[in-house]
Amino acid sequence: MTYRQEPWLMRTYAGHTNPQAANALFRTNLAKGQTGLSVAFDLPTQTGYDSDDPMAIGEVGKVGVPICHIADMEMLFTDIPLAQMNTSMTINATAAWLLALYIATAERQGANPRELRGTTQNDVLKEFLARGTHIFPPEPSLQLTADTVAYTVENMPKWNPVNICSYHLQEAGATPVQELAFTLANAFAVLDRVRTRPGVSMPNVVGQLSFFVNAGIRFIEEMCKLKAFVRLWDRHTRERYAIEDATKRRFRYGVQVNSLGLTAQQPENNVQRIVLEMLAVVLSKEARARSVQLPAWNEALGLPRPWDQQWSLRIQQVVAHETDILDYDGDIFEGSTIIEAKVASLMRDAEAELARLQQIGDAAETIEVMKRALVASHAERQRRIEQGDLTVVGVNKFTEHEPSPLVTGEADSILRVDPEAERRQIERLQAFRSARNSTEANIALAALRDAATHGSNIMPASIRAAHAGVTTGEWAATLRKVLGEYRAPTGLQGVTFSSDAASLAALRARVNVVSKALGHPLRLLVAKPGLDGHSNGAEQVAVRAKEAGLEVIYEGIRLTPEQIVASAADEDVDAIGLSIHSGSHMTLVPRITTLLRERGLGTVPVFLGGIIPEADQQELRRAGVTGIYTPGQATLTAIINDIVETTARTSSGSAGRT
């Protein structure tokens, strides 16, 4: 069958364990018909730590592939000619470094960097808001992004140096209007820094900028949102940046459909959710995605297996090659008054929200305003689900079900990373350090430090450092010393709470009773150990606990077990809630409970939330965890009620520890 239009680029988001295992997965997926790569990096790589750094304990290879140096990158792309590949890399704070490693690897393959095609996500502002892999403060982070943009526009004309992400904003609770406005505000923040660079061609900059968008289950509204994106981007790049060439103003985006709506209950329902969400970004020619990657049906349970990723790829292939959606030259929704009215409404409301953000000016203050709005929107979404106003099949309606054969024997229904993989990765790293020319590495690091100190473009020095054998941790540590580090706002300050619901009113009354027995307000420490930056769950627990009248201590993401236990002691807390979504729970949680016992806090109940396979839960309880909650297992109010009742029992009416 001959298509009038070519299918979009088909990817699966992949990478785990070590570069060798990830390479095997890449080559397998390409052999199955995947037409591009989308690389997932582990959290130490994303946050600028080597695999043997104490901060990386338990996190190596869990949610992506560890890349510590150029030999790792070469292994990752063994037998994959980069000159012929289109590679997307989900990397942000360390994007300049991973791009440098990619360029150096391509050069060692004999490729000309000007021919390289692909994308670095490189949207650090959304990391402050939704994903948590930031390192440096907002302004230096934006300057690093501007460095990569300026470098690639001049030296890599086929590369997308930035992929502004609305995806993670929706995952953090953004409404369609917020998603439009916040994403455009982030894009303008990048473009405003780049246009101050001498000699930069803004038409080429805008022409190489791309977006990474989310599509939720309300697929008509989501399609209209994409149409609004297309038209708003065209309008603002013409008016704000004077881009006259319409081809440069084109809104170019890739998409992964919504993961927030995937459920652990009746997970087979996720398949139809994924298909419907995909339709939002491929049906309309005006707003059709240039590349699509789909989550797997079982991502709410754990790390998908290669078979699960194959299923997601086959969904794309069926839609592209078996249906007729690519047979029509025009947009099949053209002339629809309903669609046009919805698009116009989204554009109008997004413009108003964008105008409010643009008036703020300061990047850090804008981030704080957007973060509060996201936490509040997510809290409202969760409240609507729990009250039955927003239906989620299998969660709050149609909950009766037959056992799913897809998850029979949970240990076989998700991919489990070899627990020895971290040790072997560390051994390879240490062997690499021992074998490299340390003098060349030190010279390269000095040049990197000088570039950062004097405000020179960081990319040439980073590429030299990659060839010299500098490691990810060394690159980031050098810049940390010059640029500093940053802790993003939690988003809890200023969040207003809903009016009393019956269940919350009863819980507040119970909290008052328990607090009087304790002699002080019931204190809950909410903490995220390790490098996992997905803070949505922790934030929503904190919001609901504050609504219920608890005193909540929440200091944000990326805490060591030692910091968490010290905070528990200093604040004299009555309970601890931990949130982990990276798979590092079997390393970090037992360390926390051990430290609590050593500090005489062994009676403080510990609650754990996240993607925790059933096979791990019994061992965690033996390690001292009181309660474990996986996605969708209980309402937030029920979780807080458990914490309150457990605290009441364990404290036995005491006035707290001294």
Quick: pLDDT tens for 358-370: 999 788 899 999 9
Q: Are 409 and 527 members of one domain? A: no
The reply to whether 282 falls in a domain is: yes
Calpha distance 109→129 (Å, rounded) = 37
The reply to whether 392 falls in a domain is: yes
Q: Are 131 and 258 members of one domain? A: yes
CB 623 within 8 A of CB 590: yes
Q: How many domains does the chain have?
A: 2
Q: What is the DSSP letter of 471?
A: -
Q: Are 408 and 510 members of one domain? A: no
Calpha distance 373→367 (Å, rounded) = 10
Provide the pLDDT for residue 656: 41
CB 14 within 8 A of CB 309: yes
Q: Are 162 and 24 members of one domain? A: yes
> 342 catalytic, yes or no?
no
> 534 catalytic, yes or no?
yes
Q: Which of 484, 486, 462, 485 is nearest to 474 (CA)?
A: 462
Q: Which two tokens stand for residue 333?
A: 């929704």
The reply to whether 612 falls in a domain is: yes
CB 370 within 8 A of CB 129: yes
Q: Pick the catalytic residue: 126, 227, 378, 528?
A: 528
Bridge partner residues of 39 (DSSP): 14, 89
Provide the pLDDT for residue 658: 33
CB 186 within 8 A of CB 166: no
Calpha distance 228→341 (Å, rounded) = 11
CB 375 within 8 A of CB 491: yes
Calpha distance 518→507 (Å, rounded) = 16
Task: Give the number of residues written for the chain.
Answer: 658
The reply to whether 553 falls in a domain is: yes
Q: Are 364 and 512 members of one domain? A: no
pTM above 0.85, yes or no: yes
The CATH number of the domain holding residue 578 is 3.40.50.280
Among candidate residues 362, 379, 413, the one where a domain is terminated: 413
Q: What is the DSSP letter of 501?
A: P
Q: Pick the catalytic residue: 248, 378, 534, 546?
A: 534
Calpha distance 561→435 (Å, rounded) = 33
Local structure of 566: helix, strand or coil: helix
The reply to whether 472 falls in a domain is: no
Q: Pick the catalytic residue: 49, 102, 151, 167?
A: 167
Amino acid identity at 358: Q
Local structure of 146: helix, strand or coil: helix
Local structure of 535: helix, strand or coil: coil
Local structure of 56: helix, strand or coil: helix
DSSP notation for 376-418: HHHHHHHHHHHTTSS--BTTTBS---PPPGGGSSHHHHSB---
The sign of the dihedral angle between the CA atoms of 169, 174, 179, 181 is negative
The CATH number of the domain holding residue 157 is 3.20.20.240
Among candidate residues 382, 413, 444, the one where a domain is terminated: 413
The reply to whether 440 falls in a domain is: no
> 467 catalytic, yes or no?
no
Provide the pLDDT for residue 494: 61
DSSP notation for 75-105: HHTTT--GGG-EEEEE--TTHHHHHHHHHHH
Q: Are 409 and 506 members of one domain? A: no
| CB-count exposure of residue 634 (10 Å: 0-12, 13-18, 19+) | middle
Q: Pick the catalytic residue: 16, 134, 168, 546?
A: 168
From residue 205, how far is each of 85, 88, 98 by CA, in Å?
A: 22, 18, 20
Among candidate residues 413, 434, 467, the one where a domain is terminated: 413
The reply to whether 485 falls in a domain is: no
Calpha distance 394→535 (Å, rounded) = 24
> 486 catalytic, yes or no?
no
* Ranges of the chain whose pLDDT falls below 70: 1-4, 408-415, 493-501, 652-658
Q: What is the DSSP letter of 264?
A: S
The reply to whether 259 falls in a domain is: yes
Containing domain of residue 394, as a range? 9-324+333-413
Q: Are 401 and 511 members of one domain? A: no
DSSP notation for 619-632: HHHHTT--EEE-TT
Q: Pick the catalytic residue: 123, 308, 532, 574?
A: 532
Q: Are 402 and 526 members of one domain? A: no
Element (H, E) at 553: strand 551-554
Calpha distance 148→142 (Å, rounded) = 10
Provide the pLDDT for residue 407: 75
Element (H, E) at 253: strand 253-256
